[in-house]
Chains A and B, each alone.
Chain A
């Protein structure tokens, strides 16, 4: 006869062990999983791509964003973005004041709250999140690799809580450009291309190296 207390301990231990095995197996299988079909480039050609360039992190929300950028599945605005609610504007304030919100639709009065994201190549502008598709996100770039992923996990001006910043590189024979996605815990809040800087010159140099979930590729 086995005492009840040790039996309970054994049962719990087995359960934890099982969960660990399943978790590890899942991670291994994720790494072994085949990447999705290669999207055509500007010339319409496709080519193989490895997970070493797509640079998955093991964080589901981040990896889903990365997969979307690489065209591994259909882009869904509702899953890709984590909009910020801001008041729309009907007129431009004029230089040098910034553009404070997205454009109101014809039926919206000034100040109506709109779920929006910031997007732009250098200066960023608010747009209703549901008006933005993958082409607007990519802004003509075709990322060739996930360059780096930074963990932030704190409140920041304008965007509120920021969990991660994902840096993609688009490398061509002419040089490299950068696509930067700033994420909340659920999705992207801001998209920019770092004013034309290459990825090596788009990442912060003043952060704790331990915060790099995916360290910058050298």
Chain B
């Protein structure tokens, strides 16, 4: 799926900016640091070390959909959702939830205790942005075209519990577009992001959500990204007297799957009441090694990444 109308628009913009570009063909080296991720404890094993779905090694970052405390801490689901030990097993004593169970079979997830309010309701916002090229990889951007642009296609809505309104979720597929002078045009699906426990979803299935912000980089390249696009609203579960299995209070569940080998989750120190002490991902990535863990991400703060390059637990 391509969006030539958008491409044309961006090309025109960039053409105007060419005169301002101080350098042409500057190698965009956003690596510089080792920035390894280590997925603790899950024992993930992957034999696909080649990047058929992501030859550009693009890291893409995901922003927190709301400003709220972490209520169920960052957890690593990958390769675990279907192998989950039973809640009453020795590994998961009674009273603790199943740490490996990904609600959307995603790789990583985090929950934030956003309060829905009683109308107007708290919006769930989508922020998707470029986060760097993978370490060791150099892209020579073609600045006659959009250096990089993100598109998100709204997927179908679903429900974790049949039809309980507080259990509704919606999928969003993330695509990136860029042109490499040595490698040509790229249009790749980076992965999918799910938001759970929302309602009044704004975008119907199949709707394309375009980048709404852009920035020039010193090398003359331009990046288009999505910044705080309202995609739905937090469901007011607090108004229910009994609760379905999926939720007992207002909150937003964010879960994602990388089309390429790995997604990753920035470790947030707030583990919340769910005791998700394990399966965290440690470290930082790309140019963003200075991120500080936090218990209460603000809306748009970076909480996770799509992309990667690995044959083992490590990713970078």
Which of B118, B160, B245, B250 contacts A195, CB < 8 Å? B250
Chain A positions 144-191 with a Cβ under 8 Å from a chain B Cβ: 150, 152, 156-159, 162, 165, 177-178, 180, 182, 190
With A95-B81, A177-B273, A197-B238 given, is the CB distance from A118 to B245 under 8 Å?
yes
Residues of B within 8 A of A190 (CB): 242-243, 248
- CB pair A95–B102 under 8 Å, yes or no, is yes
- CB pair A94–B81 under 8 Å, yes or no, is yes
Residues of B within 8 A of A92 (CB): 84, 86, 98, 101
- CB pair A162–B274 under 8 Å, yes or no, is no
Q: A98-B244, A121-B72, A205-B238 are in contact. List 6 more A-B contacts (CB 8 A).
A: A92-B84, A95-B101, A95-B103, A122-B248, A156-B241, A192-B248
- CB pair A196–B160 under 8 Å, yes or no, is no
- CB pair A194–B95 under 8 Å, yes or no, is no
- CB pair A122–B238 under 8 Å, yes or no, is no
What is the predominant secondary structure among interface residues of chain A facing chain B?
Answer: loop
Chain A minimum-CB-distance residue to B103: A95
Bound-complex Cα distance A157 to B71 (A):
25
B246 at the interface (CB under 8 A from A): yes
Which of A125, A178, A194, A195 contacts B111, CB < 8 Å? A195
B304 at the interface (CB under 8 A from A): no
Bound-complex Cα distance A218 to B237 (A):
21
- CB pair B160–A96 under 8 Å, yes or no, is yes
Residues on B lying within 8 angstroms of A by beta carbon are 69-72, 81-82, 84, 86-88, 94-95, 97-98, 101-105, 111, 113, 115, 118, 158-162, 167, 169, 237-251, 272-275
Residues of B within 8 A of A182 (CB): 241-242
What is the predominant secondary structure among interface residues of chain B facing chain A?
Answer: loop
Bound-complex Cα distance A86 to B118 (A):
34
Nearest CB of A to B116, in Å: 9
- CB pair B97–A125 under 8 Å, yes or no, is yes
Bound-complex Cα distance A125 to B246 (A):
9
- CB pair A122–B274 under 8 Å, yes or no, is yes
Nearest CB of A to B11, in Å: 41
A201 at the interface (CB under 8 A from B): yes
- CB pair B97–A121 under 8 Å, yes or no, is yes
- CB pair B241–A122 under 8 Å, yes or no, is no
Nearest CB of B to A54, in Å: 23
Of A6-14, A27-35, A64-72, A128-136, the segment with at least 4 beta carbons within 8 Å of chain B is: A128-136
Bound-complex Cα distance A192 to B115 (A):
16
Nearest CB of B to A121, in Å: 4
Bound-complex Cα distance A54 to B103 (A):
37
Bound-complex Cα distance A132 to B161 (A):
24
Bound-complex Cα distance A64 to B30 (A):
63
Nearest CB of B to A123, in Å: 5
With A177-B273, A195-B248 given, is the CB distance from A136 to B103 under 8 Å?
no
Which of A120, A158, A177, A205 contacts B97, CB < 8 Å? A120
Which of A94, A98, A177, A180 contacts B248, CB < 8 Å? A180
- CB pair A96–B243 under 8 Å, yes or no, is no
Bound-complex Cα distance A120 to B111 (A):
14
With A94-B81, A95-B104, A195-B248 given, is the CB distance from A204 to B239 under 8 Å?
yes
Chain B minimum-CB-distance residue to A127: B94
Bound-complex Cα distance A42 to B105 (A):
36
Nearest CB of B to A45, in Å: 23
